[in-house]
């Protein structure tokens, strides 16, 4: 959930940066979070994709694919757009046919409310696991992309490098996949 | 999803009617939909609650409990607030411990996009089935409340009296409960 | 859920036909049901696959992919085995990474219990939607395979050709996919 | 998943101990696992119930409510029966209206297959979170019942006292409830 992501969004013309900032102080914002995964031919997850990102405060953090749903945009299309923006146009995401999210992450400016934290806004995020079949390359917004095994993703070193509660969201995804140790 | 509901919301002071109207033209709004149900001691649904409401265009329609999530409000609290507002303070709603919704309903001003239709806004709504144990009485916003059996709820006469796609949302809930014929 | 399917299973040697028959009178049998679907690049379902099968009583019925889980077999592998047995070795099923079923269908010899009916046994079936990417050809057990649009699948003519409650299971799948009209 | 539980089941007459033992070597057995929880008026989980049980090998272990589904029995009724057997007749379980399980736990005699381990059998278990409102007292089969906070339940000391992978199942339940730290 980076500023960079959102200035890209606002360049589409739906909302100026100033207007978006104002709305963010008044309304919860609709978000999607995606955990990109590599699966084998049996559908079993072998690796989870983690971006490396410059955060608003200048720190660098591992992160999931995350961004807002635009006015008039379907959740399915927002998922595709954010995955392709972060993983490149050849990622071939396999958005699931049902959009029942595995969880709803509620991000607040106050980190103590739910543990999901976004200093800029109150966001209600629908979270999905999305297999990607194609070539993934970190986009301009991301510094790097690594593929972690389920055990690595559940481990303390990945956790230490993620902020805003996204390490917890990753563990909720691992649990949903029955891959949490 | 009535205007009346929302003017109640706005009286809380988070957003003036005018400001809300402006944001609605620019951002998807976070909503919750709740299907209130009566269950027996085995957890089996015996009846589903349907409100009777005056709609913005002056027509009268059966409706589910529905309303927006306020800035700073948890989804769980929004669910409770809307259920108590529509069914009264003694309804004793049993909000489920997990907030994984059974579906996500995307309402658009254009009814052809998803079939879920709200002339005022683009709303992304998390939908839940919520057992209510207590005394339910339709609030000031609702003209009436009826309890329909699963078969009645799935039937054509209920369907004919619901607008905006809420009859379809009711059928999705019945399917989730394995009560769709 | 055909006898033919199960005699194939028993040929694997885990259980003789006679022994399986005896157990079926005493224990619920673990099953999987799969609704094979064609999806577009956005993950949206365009068609649902329906087999045409000779049933135990000699009638011909449309049917979903369905079969039992063998001793020592993972649910994921049972799903793959039954899909490949019914749709051929080139079907390329995309079994979902999470095995949370969209519903649990309880089949009883008495059709009045749940509406899911299997004259041979009490089966507890985990139901999944499974996209298939490859060439599908009905196997020796199936007489034919047709691809129905969501509207066709929800319609009365498909419903009239399915037995044992599988038309209802198909509607529950359509509801889970938000494709139920 | 104790022998004691199952000899109780077999006393109902469906299957002799010897016959059950034979079937267990040939068919996966249908199970339910329940995580009993205390919830507050907002539906938020405050405590999770853990039994203390004598295991088949003579060791003592914390355990979830768990047991098999009998021939002819609905999953809903099996859940109620096992909860009342383990927590007493005054527990007032609130079995959820939808029986979509939060996960499917596959127990094998070989602990290396899935991490869910049962030395006696291959069991496929549907797992649910079940609020209990009433007085809970450990039954004859259970030595004790403790109520752990979500943080305690996720901690290493509870984990060290659970066997067969049930500590992992408990963490999957906590994740589903968004209570996993």
Q: Which chains touch D (3 or more CB pairs under 8 A)?
A: A, B, C
A178 contact residues in D (CB cutoff 8 A): 103, 114, 172
Comparing CB atoms, the residue among B172, B174, B181 nearest residue C178 is B172
C74 contact residues in D (CB cutoff 8 A): 106, 113-114
Q: Which residue of C has its CA nearest to B170?
A: C175
CB contact under 8 A, B171 and C180: yes
Between A75-84, A106-115, B82-91, B137-146, the lowest mean confidence (pLDDT) is in B137-146
The rounded distance, in Å, linking the Cα atoms of C102 and C97 is 13
Q: Is the dihedral of CA C51, C52, C55, C60 positive or negative?
A: positive
A42 contact residues in C (CB cutoff 8 A): 76-77, 80, 95
Test mutation, B113, B180, B181, chain C, max C CBs within 10 A:
B180
Q: What is the pTM of this model?
A: 0.91
Q: Which chains touch C (3 or more CB pairs under 8 A)?
A: A, B, D
Q: Which residue of C has its CA nearest to B103?
A: C176
Per residue in A89-144, pLDDT tens?
999 999 999 999 999 999 999 999 999 999 999 999 999 999 999 999 988 678 89
Q: Is the pLDDT of residue B4 over 60?
A: no
Q: Which residue of A has its CA nearest to D171?
A: A175
Name the interface residues of C facing D (CB cutoff 8 Å): 14-15, 19, 23, 25-30, 69-75, 99-104, 106, 108, 113-114, 122, 124, 126
Between B2-11, B171-180, C99-108, the lowest mean confidence (pLDDT) is in B2-11
CB contact under 8 A, B98 and D131: no
Q: Beta partners for C68?
A: C31
The rounded distance, in Å, linking the Cα atoms of A148 and A52 is 12
pLDDT at residue C54 in the model: 79
**C63 CA: distance to closest CA in chain A (Å):** 21
C39 contact residues in A (CB cutoff 8 A): 97
Name the interface residues of B facing D (CB cutoff 8 Å): 37, 39, 42-45, 76-77, 80, 94-100, 102, 129, 131, 176-178
CB contact under 8 A, B42 and D178: no
- Centroid of chain to Cα B91: 15
The rounded distance, in Å, linking the Cα atoms of C102 and C149 is 20
Per residue in D1-12, pLDDT tens?
443 344 444 334
Q: Is the dihedral of CA A123, A127, A132, A138 positive or negative?
A: positive
Per residue in D23-66, pLDDT tens?
777 899 999 999 999 999 999 999 999 999 887 667 788 999 99
- Centroid of chain to Cα B82: 8
pLDDT at residue A12 in the model: 42
What would the DSSP string read from start to end of D94-108?
A: ---SS---SEEEEEB
* Phi, psi dihedral angles at A47 (to 5 degrees): -145, 150
A57-60 long-range CB contacts below 8 Å, 24 or more apart? A57/A119, A59/A163, A60/A143
Residues in CB range of B157: below 8 A, 6 or more apart: none
B102 contact residues in D (CB cutoff 8 A): 98, 100
Test mutation, A71, A78, A97, chain B, max B CBs within 10 A:
A71
The pLDDT tens digits along chain C (181 residues) read 443 344 444 334 456 777 777 777 789 999 999 999 999 999 999 999 999 987 767 778 899 999 999 999 999 999 999 999 999 999 999 999 999 999 999 999 999 999 999 999 999 999 999 999 999 998 867 889 999 999 999 999 999 999 899 999 999 999 999 999 9
More confident residue, C15 or B32: B32
Q: Which of C59, C57, C78, C77 is nearest to C68 (CA)?
A: C78
Nearest 5°: CA angle at C135, between C166 and A99? 55
B129 contact residues in D (CB cutoff 8 A): 97-98
């Amino acid at each position: 959930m980076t500023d960079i992501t959102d200035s890209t969004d606002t360049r589409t013309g739906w909302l100026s940066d100033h207007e978006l900032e104002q709305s963010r102080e008044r309304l919860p914002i609709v978000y999607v979070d995606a955990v990109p995964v590599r699966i084998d031919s049996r559908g079993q997850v072998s690796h989870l994709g983690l971006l490396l990102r410059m955060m608003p405060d200048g720190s660098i953090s591992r992160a999931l694919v995350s961004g807002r749903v635009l006015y008039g945009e379907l959740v399915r299309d927002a998922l595709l757009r954010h995955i392709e923006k972060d993983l490149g146009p050849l990622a071939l995401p396999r958005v699931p046919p049902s959009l029942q999210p595995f969880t709803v992450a509620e991000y607040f400016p106050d980190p103590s409310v739910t543990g999901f934290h976004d200093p800029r806004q109150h966001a209600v995020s629908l979270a999905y696991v999305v297999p990607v079949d194609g070539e993934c390359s970190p986009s301009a917004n991301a510094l790097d992309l690594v593929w972690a095994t389920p055990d690595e993703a559940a481990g303390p070193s990945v956790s230490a490098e993620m902020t805003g509660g996204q390490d917890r969201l990753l563990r909720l995804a691992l649990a949903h996949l029955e891959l949490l140790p």
